[in-house]
Structure 1
Amino acid sequence: MGHWTLEIAKMALYVTFPVALFHYFNQPQYFEEWVVNTKREMYPPEDPVQKEKFFNAIRAVQEKQRNEYVASLERE
């Protein structure tokens, strides 16, 4: 068995090692570029032309459904 100083040294290592790793790996300069690139890959900037095409398609479908609904009401 070790002496009480060895136990204190081990306990200090057990506490210091995870805290030191947490501090080192959570510095923004180490992962900021990676986070920004991943975010841009997952959520690319919106293309105004694509957005307009998308909303035009939605409006066309809604207009078609509205016309079908009106036609079914007129038949009744």
Structure 2
Amino acid sequence: MRTEYDFSKSKPNPYARKLKQPVTIRLDESTVRYFKQLAQELDMPYQSLINLYLRDCASSGRSLSLKWRPKKSGRAA
């Protein structure tokens, strides 16, 4: 191994933007089970399948329609 290296001719990594960022998310057990089962059928890691699904949602501009019920004010007597 050299004691010093010359990086003057080095180039930036062209794949750096495509690197994946590890995150921690909490998913329902049934959701994880669903993706694990589907991933097994497709012969691929379930994390990759979840990533593909979320990427498809993002690129398609898909959004959820969530409606929250307002919290009732006051207490029941």
Structure 1 length-normalised TM: 0.31
More helix as a share of residues? 1
Structure 2 length as normaliser, TM-score?
0.31
From the CA coordinates, give the structure whose radius of gyration is larger: 1
Q: Determine which structure has greater relative contact order: mean sequence separation of CA pairs < 8 Å that are 6+ residues apart, divided by chain length.
A: 2
